[in-house]
Structure 1
């Protein structure tokens, strides 16, 4: 183990992300048995303009690299000097992935075992205020000359690595880091692998948090641990920046996907995390209305931008609306022509629905047909009723409920086997009130329209309860 060669590497690039980022300078210093045995460094022509903010940070400008070799011209040298070495860098995934991306662009592979000096230093020199290279060097008196240049940063990293070797003479910590088989090799530099192992495999919402505990990103998952691991393994610029700012990950179990979706939406609106894409403004919904046409037939219609005197239901996509109307046609033997499912014509000729009762052909009485429409409207009314939607809880013994007040999401709660819940009205003892939103409306509507075998408990509205109370007490 002590005879291993370590390729201490540092690069400067055209940006701070991973994708589309090109190398402008590289330095590789080989260390074996604690001593420097080889070195390579070069400016690199990135074949693209260097942004002004990068030039200000590194001092490397377009003129300096104009006559420098492209990466394709130094790839063999990088391949040769790092061969049979452990690839070492401060925040190793950044340098390693960009170098590997450069090789991929040449249709070549670059694969090395990796070791991160951020993680190594955290293990061997715990308790520092910051583990950025500059702050570590200041804290433990390591010379750091020519910061943000590949040679200067690489020299400082070599000295830091030699200091770590002296603290780990038997390579116990290094060997453990090299042999990690889990997602730990992809972990953010400031996140503990032990914390990752504690993450649950259950359904819920999760929070990436910064060093002050503020949410950076909020998501939902059926399997929280698996989903977070997939975040670690993504290589987009956005995810890379998120990983650099993540110090902890918190979670909230929900027991089911419906509540996870609702809580995710609610929490994003509460905290507006910087790495969540802004929730798109939900477009104006399709409104299902009805009216008596010239023949006296009660006819359904969809409107998106009109104010309708009668509004039975709302849909947030036309596909959902059409699917629901087709169900009404089949379930209540309505006419596709009078449900807005086909262009105007003398008779209906819907490609799929063959259960039309024949009102379009004058085969049944209009009053009889309108009575069927009335039953369909009664069916629709169940979507606006106050009720509890019952779902799985966080444990096998527990159940969760989602409270809908007049069809609108108003809160949630959990009921255990020992909880006293003999009457539906007692749910308020377990309720966590929540604010509704257009996002929550959409989530609930989709659930009601697609969920088979709904488990639901009807409730009286607050107005109905108040009316009953007034009647009782006179």
Structure 2
């Protein structure tokens, strides 16, 4: 359809939807069923294997945009139908997308496909101590204080520390990036890139304070509650509560289904993707957060009575 000019001189551009042709090899019924609501979608092949998991506040619009993208031709050629799962909002869609990508390992999702062994910088309270690199396997990031930054590799953590040291004119020797020799200037001091903590020109206390201040914007926020809390979203009268425990997405409670379903969760450990999804909106006060009631399990894994004790609020 070509653009045309009306009798009053208005230019009418064609609507892409009017000329859109659905791929004949993708089940049309699965496409017609897509809602214009929040949630996730899964492209699957003829063996039902997941090819791609995505999320959107408008599932239908997002999936149709995939069908119009030439760069995704390889994935589309292998697709045979599209599955979807509704959520009550964008946060729920983000959390579910992250979980399903890890569980299903879809071929065309690369960014979140692997559960990463993260590391971080730890700066102790001793002003003479240098930052250490610590790993999630050894420390619970949701409970440990004085952690800064999330890195996929030790190399990435060291590169970030070097960048901070260079920009802030900190001492490489005092921060563990260079072997320290008592009373001898570090290399950066020799080229006027260090304020001289290594030779006493700057006090150790002042250097430590500058280092901690430079790291502060990367501080990992400790989980601010004593236990799991619910993030509530509502859409068209449908209420979902997304249960989060120490930056781990446990699952979502539908208002009509009750809390018992959540108690099947796996071991709850700090999850970097859940943390990144939630930490900023939580700190800005943008989330509706409520205590949750979960089913207890006995030592044999059997479901017990509901624990009626509310989860306490944020720690002081």
| TM-score class normalised by the smaller sequence | 0.5 to 0.7
Unaligned runs of 5+ in 2: 3-13, 152-156, 165-207, 300-316
Structure-2 change in CA distance of 1:384 and 1:442 (3 Å):
farther
Structure-2 change in CA distance of 1:218 and 1:201 (3 Å):
same
The answer (yes or no) to whether the contact 2:253–2:261 under 8 Å persists in 1 is yes
Equivalent residue, structure 2, for 1:279: 112
Structure 2 residue 133 is the aligned partner of structure 1 residue 305:
yes
Equivalent residue, structure 1, for 2:39: 204
Equivalent residue, structure 2, for 1:429: 260
Unaligned runs of 5+ in 1: 1-110, 112-178, 295-300, 323-335, 344-349, 354-376, 420-426, 467-474
Deviations 1:173-218 (A, max 9, x none): xxxxxx9963773432312445423311111110111223322221
Deviations 1:77-129 (A, max 9, x none): xxxxxxxxxxxxxxxxxxxxxxxxxxxxxxxxxx9xxxxxxxxxxxxxxxxxx
> CA offset at residue 261 of structure 1?
1.9
Equivalent residue, structure 1, for 2:224: 383
Equivalent residue, structure 2, for 1:220: 55
The answer (yes or no) to whether the contact 1:204–1:222 under 8 Å persists in 2 is yes
> Which of the residues 423, 440, 447 maps onto 2:278?
447
Structure 2 residue 91 is the aligned partner of structure 1 residue 250:
no
Equivalent residue, structure 2, for 1:82: none
Structure 2 residue 69 is the aligned partner of structure 1 residue 234:
yes
- 1:315, 1:461 → 2: CA distance? 32
The answer (yes or no) to whether the contact 1:409–1:435 under 8 Å persists in 2 is no
Structure-2 change in CA distance of 1:243 and 1:430 (3 Å):
same
Structure-2 change in CA distance of 1:260 and 1:183 (3 Å):
farther
**Number of corresponding residues:** 225
Deviations 1:429-471 (A, max 9, x none): 35274447889433234412333233223469999x99xxxxx
- 2:61, 2:36 → 1: CA distance? 7
Alignment of 1:459-470 (within 5 A): none
- 1:403, 1:340 → 2: CA distance? 33
The answer (yes or no) to whether the contact 1:210–1:216 under 8 Å persists in 2 is yes
Greater Rg by CA: 1
Structure 2 residue 244 is the aligned partner of structure 1 residue 404:
yes
Structure-2 change in CA distance of 1:182 and 1:459 (3 Å):
closer
Higher relative contact order (CA 8 A, sep 6+): 2
Equivalent residue, structure 2, for 1:117: none
Q: Secondary structure at the match of 1:305?
A: strand
Q: Secondary structure at the match of 1:431?
A: helix
Equivalent residue, structure 2, for 1:337: 209
RMSD, matched Cα: 4.6
Deviations 1:261-319 (A, max 9, x none): 2222222222222232263654634355542447xxxxxx9956247999225643699
Structure-2 change in CA distance of 1:339 and 1:241 (3 Å):
same
The answer (yes or no) to whether the contact 1:217–1:273 under 8 Å persists in 2 is yes
- 1:183, 1:302 → 2: CA distance? 63
- 1:183, 1:339 → 2: CA distance? 59
- 2:66, 2:149 → 1: CA distance? 32
The answer (yes or no) to whether the contact 1:286–1:302 under 8 Å persists in 2 is no
The answer (yes or no) to whether the contact 1:387–1:457 under 8 Å persists in 2 is no
- 2:291, 2:130 → 1: CA distance? 28
Q: Secondary structure at the match of 2:91?
A: helix
The answer (yes or no) to whether the contact 1:203–1:257 under 8 Å persists in 2 is yes
Superposition TM-score, scaled by structure 2 size: 0.55
The answer (yes or no) to whether the contact 2:44–2:52 under 8 Å persists in 1 is yes
> CA offset at residue 406 of structure 1?
3.7
Higher helix share: 1
- 2:232, 2:148 → 1: CA distance? 24
